[in-house]
Chains A and B, each alone.
Chain A
Amino acid sequence: AAGVIQSPRHLIKEKRETATLKCYPISRHDTVYWYQQGPGQDPQFLISFYEKMQSDKGSIPDRFSAQQFSDYHSELNMSSLELGDSALYFCASVSVGPGGEQFFGPGTRLTVL
């Protein structure tokens, strides 16, 4: 079965530009999580969606927004990019439930110049 798909895999932007990251969860997974991993850091939770509704927000800047669509894919929109936004961005999908294993995508490496 196909895993979690993220696109693009690499993205280079200038300061103050916008970026859109896409995540396609595993088939029949209705929950998506977004994480940000800065250089040398552990992944930090940004935002999650369950059944196309936002379920929780973590340390996500107001410049970022996200949504989950009817086909369960999710997009993370980032505006007014700053140098500090350079990081690996992961999404993970899971079947709903407390015991669910989170499956991670390969990540999008965003570089802001």
Chain B
Amino acid sequence: KQEVTQIPAALSVPEGENLVLNCSFTDSAIYNLQWFRQDPGKGLTSLLLIQSSQREQTSGRLNASLDKSSGRSTLYIAASQPGDSATYLCAVPSYSGAGSYQLTFGKGTKLSVIP
């Protein structure tokens, strides 16, 4: 059974700092990996999707990397801003047959960017 772990559980940084969030998974036979952002009590916003054949994916100040063999992904946020404060979750799909690829989520990293 796939297990996803995120470290650290919480992170507080001053505005402008670059930071890295970590995600690890136990079964390296993944199809892709998604990073999400969630504001308190709100929905899940997809930030980046990395296919299993890719090593990196970039969107603005965000860069996600994937190392399937070691079961790890990182989300790099450059020049952090207070508006980046949120919980960041990574998730990988697990195939269970009949076209179902339900996501297994990590417990998230709660990021606080201090002005």
Q: Give the B-binding residues of A (Cβ under 8 A).
A: 31, 33, 35, 41-43, 45, 48, 50-51, 53, 55-56, 58, 88, 90, 92, 94, 96, 98-107, 109
Contact call B105/A106, Cβ cutoff below 8 A: no
Contacts of A102 in B (CB 8 A): 34, 46, 93, 103
Given contacts A42-B105, A90-B44, A102-B103, 12 further A-B contacts (CB under 8 A): A31-B100, A41-B107, A45-B103, A51-B99, A55-B97, A58-B102, A98-B93, A99-B32, A99-B51, A102-B34, A102-B46, A103-B46
- Decide if the interface of chain B is mainly helix, strand, loop or mixed: strand
**Residue B86 lies at the interface, judged by CB distance under 8 Å to chain A:** no
CB-CB under 8 A from A101, the residues of chain B are 32, 34, 46, 49
In Å, the complex CA distance between A102 and B34 comes to: 8
Contact call B99/A55, Cβ cutoff below 8 A: yes
B contacts with A, residue count (CB < 8 A) = 29
Contact A104 B43 (CB under 8 A): yes
Can you list 25 residue pairs at the A/B interface with Cβ under 8 Å?
A: A31-B99, A31-B100, A33-B102, A41-B107, A43-B44, A43-B105, A45-B103, A48-B100, A48-B102, A50-B98, A50-B100, A53-B98, A55-B99, A56-B98, A90-B44, A92-B103, A94-B101, A98-B93, A99-B31, A99-B51, A102-B46, A102-B93, A103-B46, A104-B46, A106-B42
Please give the distance in Å from B109's CB to the nearest CB on chain A: 11
B residues near A (Cβ < 8 Å) are 31-32, 34, 36, 41-46, 49, 51-52, 89, 93, 95-108
> With A42-B89, A90-B43, A104-B46 in contact, do A96 and B99 touch (Cβ < 8 Å)?
yes
Interface pair B34/A106, CB less than 8 Å apart:
no
A35 to B36, CA, bound (A): 14
